[in-house]
Amino acid sequence: MLILVACVVVPTLAAQGRASPAPPLGAWTPVPELPGMGRPVDTASVAARRRALLARIGRGVVLVPAAHERELERDYLQDNDFRQSNTFFYLTELETQDAWLLLIAGGGAPETVLFLPPRNPFQERWTGLRLGPDSTAARLTGIARVLPTDSLDPVLSALLARVRGPLYVPLDQATRDEPRLRDLVFVGRDVRNLRPVVDSLRLVKDADELARMRKAIDISGLGHVAAMQAARPGAWEYEIEAALEAEFRRNGADRLGYPSIVGSGPNSTTLHYDVNRRQTRDGDLIVVDAGAEWGQYTADVTRTFPVNGKFTPRQKAIYDLVLATQQAAFDSTRPGATIAQLNRIARDYMRAHSGTLCGAQTCDAYFIHGLSHWLGMDVHDVGDYSTPLKPGMVFTIEPGIYLAPEGLGVRIEDDVLVTVTGAEWLSAKAPKTTAEIERLMGRR
C-alpha cells in the first residue's frame, strides 16, 4: 500500500471544505450506462491501448481473463464482491466478470474478440443485469466481435493453428488458478507472460486514466480535510478513520485503495499501522495515510497533523524539514530523471538541513523507507523502477521522519504527474503547510 518497504533502487515490485460538485471527468466517449454494468467505457482509449499492445508484440495471440466474483463463504469481503483484474480492465474498462479478451496480432489486420457469459434471467434476479454476448455489448465496449464464452475453446484452437507467434497470457497471482490458462501452458505452444508488456504500457497514463486518477485524488483530498476536521484530543483513531472514509464514499469512491492508516502518537512511527484503535491524546501528532479508489484507479495521500490543531515548535521543525525535503525532490522531477536520483536528492537534502533536530544523527537516518513508488490501478503500481521519467507517469513523493522514542512520526505524501516541462502536484487540494493545516483545524 503506502510505502515500498525498501529503497526504490531495488528492482520492481518484488520489492476544502464541504463536498463540492464532482470534478469534471474529462472527455468521456458518450456511451450510455446500463444498470449493473459499470461505468461507461472510453472506447477510443481502450482501443488505443490494445493497438499499442499489439504493436509491441508484433505477432502472436493474447488471451486475458476477467476476474471472477468473490464468495462470501470463502473470502472476507470488505466492501463488494467483485473487482476487475487490472490487466483486463486496462484493455477493456469493463467491470464484467467471467469474460475473456482475445487479441490477434500479425498476419493481416489485428483482431479483437470479447467473450461474455450468456445472460441468465433467472440468475439476474440475484445479480442484477449483466452484459451478455449481443449487440448491446458490442456497442458499449466498442468491440465489434462479441461471442459467448462457450465458443472460446474452438475459436482459440482454430486461431492457434492458423496464427504464428507466441501466445501471451497474464501469468500472475490472479490467474494462477485459472484452469484454462494452466492447461494452455502445457500444450507445447510458446506461451509467454503478458504482464511485463502490459505493465510497461501502464507506466504512462493516457488522458482517460489521468481523469480517473484526478478524481480519485480529489476525493482523497476531501477525505483528508474531513479527517483533520474530525480530530480533537480524546478522539479515537477509528473515529477519524470513519470521518475520512465517509467523505470518500460521500464523494463517490468505489472503495479504498488500501487499508487506511490512522496512527496517533506512538503509532505515528509505525509505517503500516492500520489497527486504528488508540485514543488520541492532547499533544499527539497523527499520521493519516489513505487513498480512495475511483474507476479502478487509486490515490495515495498522507497528511500529518496535531490532534489539537496546533503544532508544537518541535513538531513544526520536524514537519517543515520533511516538507522541504519533499519539495526538493519535486523540484528535480522532470522527464529523464529517475526515481533513484530523486531518492538521493531527497536524502541529501534532509541530511544537509538536519542541524541538531534528530540528535547525534542526521534526520535521514530516521527516513527509513523509499521516497517514491508508481501509482495507478495498483497503489504500488506496476512498472520497472529504473525507467527514466516520461510525461504521463504518476508516482508518489513521500519522505518521512520517525522518532520512535519520542512517539513522533511525520510523513507527507503527494501524488505527482510528470509533465513535459517538469511535474504537477495532483494532490495539492489537501492542506499541507503547517499554516494551512492550523487554519483549517482552527475553524472546527
By CB under 5 A, name the binding residues for Mn ion.
Answer: 2, 300, 396
Mind giving me the DSSP string for 378-401? SSS--S-TTSPP-TTBEEEE--EE
How far apart, in whole angstroms, are the C-alpha atoms of residue 174 and residue 85?
Answer: 7
CB of 343 to Mn ion, least distance (A): 13
Please say which residue, 37 or 292, places its beta carbon nearer to Mn ion: 292
In the bound complex, what is the minimum distance in angstroms from residue 71's beta carbon to Mn ion? 30
Q: Least distance to Mn ion from the beta carbon of 306, Å?
A: 22
Q: Least Å distance between CB 238 and Mn ion?
A: 21
Nearer to Mn ion among residue 2 and residue 64 (C-beta): 2
Q: Contact at 8 Å (CB) between 292 and 253?
A: yes
| Residue 161 CB neighbour total at 10 angstroms | 7
Closer residue to Mn ion, CB minimum distance, 2 or 285: 2
The CA distances from residue 419 to 42, 337, 416, 436, in Å, are 23, 12, 9, 26
Q: Please tell me the distance from the alpha carbon of residue 443 to that of residue 363, in angstroms, as a whole number.
A: 33
Nearest to 379 by CA among 295, 271, 272, 299: 299
The CA distance from 189 to 185, in Å, is 7
- Residue 202 or residue 373: which is nearer to Mn ion going by CB? 373
Nearer Cβ to Mn ion (87/220): 220
C-alpha grid cell, residue 276? 486504528
Q: Are 216 and 291 in contact (CB under 8 A)?
A: yes
Using the minimum distance from each CB to Mn ion, give the nearer residue, 114 or 371: 371
Residue 314, strand partner residues = none
CB atoms under 10 Å from CB of 406, counted, come to 16
Tell the smallest beta-carbon distance from residue 338 to Mn ion (Å): 18
Measuring CA to CA, which residue among 241, 218, 184, 185 is closest to residue 295?
218
Residue 411 Cβ vs Mn ion, minimum distance, rounded to whole Å: 9
With CA atoms as reference, report the closest residue to 411 among 272, 297, 309. Answer: 272
**Nearer of residues 141 and 220 to Mn ion, judged by Cβ:** 220
Please identify the residue of the shown chain whose CB is closest to the bound Mn ion. 2
Distance (Å, rounded) from C-alpha 48 to C-alpha 65?
19
Q: What is the smallest separation between the CB atom of 175 and Mn ion, expressed in angstroms?
A: 26
State which residue, 43 or 333, has the beta carbon closest to Mn ion. Answer: 333
Amino acid type, 70 = R
Q: Which is nearer to Mn ion, 41 or 227 (CB)?
A: 227
Edge-to-edge strands, sheet with 394-397: 394-397, 414-418, 423-425
Q: Which residue, among 421, 397, 241, 402, has the nearest Cα to 330 in the 3D structure?
A: 397
**Nearest distance from C-beta of residue 375 to Mn ion, angstroms:** 7
* CB of residue 314 to Mn ion, shortest distance in Å: 25
